[in-house]
Amino acid sequence: MAANAPTAGKDRRKSRRKGPDGVVLGQAPKETQIGASLADLFGYQIDFWQRGILYLDTLRQRAQNMIEHERAGKPPVLDFDYEVILDGRRLARPANYELLRITRVGDTCLEDCLDESRSPVIVVDPRAGHGPGIGGFKRDSEVGMALHEGHPVYFVIFFPEPVPGQTLEDVLHVLRHFVEEVARRHPGKAPVLYGNCQAGWAIALLSADCEGMVGPAVLNGSPLSYWSGESGVNPMRLAGGLLGGAWLVHLLSDLGDGRFDGANLVANFEALKPANTLWKKDYLLFAGVDNQRERFLEFERWWTGFYLLSKQEITAIVENLFVANQLERGELKVCPGCYVDLRRIRNPLVIFASSGDNITPPHQALNWIPAIYPDTQTLKAAGQRIVYLINPHVGHLGIFVSAKVARLEHRAILESLRELNDLAPGLYEMKIDNPTGDPDCHKPQFQVRFEERRVEDLAYPNQTPAFERVRRISEANVAWYETFLGPWVRLFTNPWTAEVMRQLHPARTSRLVYSECFFPWMSGVKWLATMAEATRQPVDTSNPYRQWEEQLSEMVGSGLEYAGNVRDSLSELWFRGLYDWLLPGQDEPASKGSNG
């Protein structure tokens, strides 16, 4: 080591040898470095200003699209032509649903590419605050994949306003009519039912009610076991307990003059991830405004289309499903003396869930199975086939929105329908082997395996006692509200006050504030955006100031994410403290209702 030291020093001296102009060789002159730094700063400032203008103009376009969509009657955001088959508002027991048949994709007529041997597919979108169409708002979607595989495709939409007094029973009655109509049009081919999110439990009810009439049912991110979830990860299931039960839904419906504003549900979804809602979504648009604008506006056209539900519907959903969890318990009463029993389902079920879904985690999608089938032998004895597919990371909306998921998982499900019908009774996990990694491939480029599983292995934590107390407190609070407060709220509420409250909802005003109709100065932003596009000078990611911007964004996003995690943890502690410690008591056994 000592012998090599003089040589190393000599090499260092050589590396710092100066040139004829006195500048160290291999090092840029100081004036050049300063000039480059100023050039980076100047270029970044121009880019930042232009991106800011284009970002504001995109928000202006979103607000204008929102207004135009509402003026047009909020039509479904389908990217396919269609014809109306049945209008549920004109049936004997009306509901604001409509059955469509997809007829055309762009300039391509479907009659020549349909496979007559394929069963029809009925896609039902959720009524969770937004309008219909998300299952087919782009070509690479559930509708698009079903068409690509040659299936006749039908789509169930709903209208912004419910039929006055519309009940959950009315909705199920109309959906059954739709299934019967599709079955009549395709004799000998049982319809395949596709249910997204909250539409999944409606599909489960239909499957139990239409025994022998329907084919496989695909439940995408659909909760059927509402009390299940992972502590600290799935806080939405605690909301009923922390708010005192379903009385708040009664209050909001009365303030809405008998209609519940879907913007309230959307606000709940957005509150789940404050980092994404308050920062990341907007920053991603700002950072990549040149190539993210169309995608952002396309999605926001659906996300900002708020629909209404009747008081009878939303209170039945919240009280019977979210708070009381009556579906998996066999206590969901849809008509006098008639209870829904999921054990009556005989058509194969495909449950598509994701570990990255914080709204409907696998716990809520699967935990109903051991609740009604105590062991594998019971499931087999019932002659039922249940298949589940778990995506490791995609979020809730990605299950039925992501083009990549549509091209792989949904295509694999549709291409495996015949195999599903041939499975022996039991529980299976669907595995997709895709060695190429290409999501746009077909069999045999990827293989699908159905690996048998045991019901006993679906061992999710039992959280029934605390939620039983939530149910009883909710019933007491609803009774108190309807007896003492509700009549006064309804007395002072009228259509005008209800509409004012809807229009002033933060989910609307936070978007409409960028519209030219509300703030004329936004027309100046439109003019500036035209100039910015014409003289656009973007900087690449090697710009140090752009890198610092991204680091700052990461810090802000991480801080908000941390705050959200702390909030969720405190909510969990508050819920447990309230219902496990402060309100202990003997829990009533769950009673099963009789089948009607």
Domains and CATH numbers, the chain: 74-233+329-461 (3.40.50.1820)
Q: What is the mean pLDDT of residues 536-556?
A: 94
Q: Is-contact 385 455, C-beta < 8 A?
A: no
Q: At what angle do helices 289-303 and 30-71 cross, to 10 degrees?
A: 20
Q: Measured between alpha carbons, how far is 124 from 126 in angstroms, rounded to an integer?
A: 7
Determine the average pLDDT of the residues in 273-290.
96
Give the pLDDT score at 27: 52
Question: Could you give the CA distance from residue 51 to residue 289 in angstroms, rounded to a whole number?
Answer: 6
For 239, other C-beta atoms within 10 Å of its C-beta total 16
Q: Which helix (H) or strand (E) holds 573?
A: helix 544-576
Q: So what's the pLDDT on residue 437?
A: 60
Of 204 and 233, the one with more pLDDT: 204
Strand partners, 100: 84, 155
102 three-class SS: strand
- pLDDT 10s digits, 155-169: 999 999 999 999 999
pTM of whole model > 0.85?
yes
DSSP code for 595: B
Lowest mean pLDDT among 36-45, 220-229, 303-312, 547-556: 36-45
- Between β-strands 385-391 and 153-158, what pairing exists: parallel, antiparallel or unpaired? unpaired
Interhelix angle 247-255/464-480, rounded to 10 degrees, is 40
Q: What pLDDT, on the 0 to 100 scale, is given for residue 31?
A: 56
Identify the band that residue 585 occupies on the pLDDT scale cut at 50, 70 and 90.
Answer: low
* Amino acid letter, 155: F
Tell me which of 270 and 111 has the higher pLDDT: 270
The lowest-confidence range among 82-86, 322-326, 437-441, 516-520 is 437-441
Amino acid at 490: R
Confidence (pLDDT) at 167: 94
For range 301-329, the mean pLDDT: 94
Average pLDDT over the chain reads 88
**Which H or E element spans position 567?**
helix 544-576
Q: Is 586 exposed, middle or buried (0-12, 13-18, 19+ CB in 10 A)?
A: exposed
Instruction: Supply the pLDDT for residue 329.
Output: 85
Q: What is the pLDDT of residues 106-156, one digit of tens each?
A: 666 566 678 878 999 999 999 999 999 999 988 889 998 999 888 999 999
Residue 594 has pLDDT above 80, yes or no: no
Q: What percent of the chain has pLDDT over 90?
A: 69
- H-run or E-run covering 98: strand 97-105
